[in-house]
Amino acid sequence: MALLAYLKSLFILQLLMGFVFVVSGLIINFIQLCTCILWPINKQLYRRINCRLSYSLWSQLVMMLEWWSGTECTLYTDQATVDKFGKEHVIIILNHNFEVDFLCGWTMCERYGILGSSKVLAKHELLKVPLIGWTWYFLEIVFCKRKWEEDRKTVFSGLERLKDYPEYMWFLLYCEGTRFTEKKHQISMQVAESKGLPKLKYHLLPRTKGFTTTLQCLKGTVTAVYDVTLNFKDKQTPTLLSIVNGKKYKADMRVQRFSVDEIPEDEQECANWLHKLYQEKDALQEQYNKEGKFPGPTIIPPRRPWTLLNFLFWATLLLSPLINFACGVVVSGSPLLIIGFILFLIIASIAIRRLIGVTEVKKTGSSYGNLEAKKQN
């Protein structure tokens, strides 16, 4: 075990994994670009193909969580709810406290066969991020600038387009709008106080507009809302970098299903429903902190081999020529070739590190409630 942990911490292995992810991602993005000719001919075929292509990329990240780090995911829910997973269009509400919360969500999507068709209401800045933003663009992800006056038309048209999506989808919403930090929480609770709303201890005040709009636009398509609260055992705070280093975690996810028929249609009543839900989520978090677990039965869905097989396919395809080229450079003895190859490795490592940086709490998030930032804007 010690040897395995040492191997996982080797930078060269992590760099090779990053190389496989980046190059395979560029290949996938190119194929996605080529599929655009199908859109005017057969839109549903275009969508089905892009679901498979995006799966091939995202599953490599899921593989890191499931197989490389060995992180375990436990669901706290009933069997009746689990039986519906992957068999209906739903909206997912997830707390936004960790750098890898999206990865845990993707893991559940993969285990129930809907990773390729998973959706999210994403911030517009991510559209410019290579691989991630490009893949999401072809997957018809809805992007927003978090300014409703500018987002209204884009969000409505993007959501309306998804009403006839051919594959079951889980549409993820981070209703808090940004990742939880103590500073943001303090500002958020000042906003709650000014609006006469109950204060939350472990969450930011939810932004209701995104939820009510999504529910309204996808009415008739979405049949349920899944409220998911994520925590990690022993109050650990995993990062994508620690996952890459092979560190193992134990994730607990409390899932509660609400039929859309249970949620008020009136916008203000729907917003009140969401605020009440977050008060309940806060109470759940309090209970978890005291007892180290959520209430209710537990289910541990088994990991599937497809994420590992997919990565091995890309690794075999891409690493063989790279290793042959590296051996050729060394054998040639050419200082120019050797220096060039070293520069390539340095540039590659910097690029991969920047991609990881997209998930880091200190480098992401909005200026929600930040009056100073609003003045600067």
Residue 212 in any domain: the answer is: yes
- The pLDDT value recorded for residue 371 is 43
Residue 348 in any domain: the answer is: no
Residue 143 in any domain: the answer is: no
Measure CA of the first residue to CA of the last residue in the chain; give whole Å. 52
Q: Count of CB atoms within 10 A of residue 178's CB? A: 21
- The pLDDT value recorded for residue 339 is 83
Residue 360 in any domain: the answer is: no
pTM given for the model: 0.89
- The pLDDT value recorded for residue 365 is 47
210, two tokens: 């995104």
Residue 279 in any domain: the answer is: yes
- The pLDDT value recorded for residue 355 is 65
The H or E element spanning position 231 is: strand 224-232
- The pLDDT value recorded for residue 376 is 32
Residue 79 in any domain: the answer is: yes
Burial-class residue 3 by CB neighbours within 10 Å (0-12, 13-18, 19+).
exposed
Q: Count of CB atoms within 10 A of residue 141's CB? A: 21
Q: Give how many domains the chain has, as a whole number.
A: 1
Residue 86 in any domain: the answer is: yes
Residue 268 in any domain: the answer is: yes
Q: Where are the alpha helices (DSSP H) in the chain?
A: 2-9, 11-35, 43-63, 79-82, 101-111, 132-138, 148-161, 182-194, 208-217, 240-244, 267-291, 306-332, 335-357, 371-376
Ranges in the chain, pLDDT < 70? 1, 352-377
- The pLDDT value recorded for residue 318 is 93
Asked if 57 and 131 touch (Cβ cutoff 8 Å), the reply is yes
Range(s) of the domain holding residue 73: 69-114+168-303
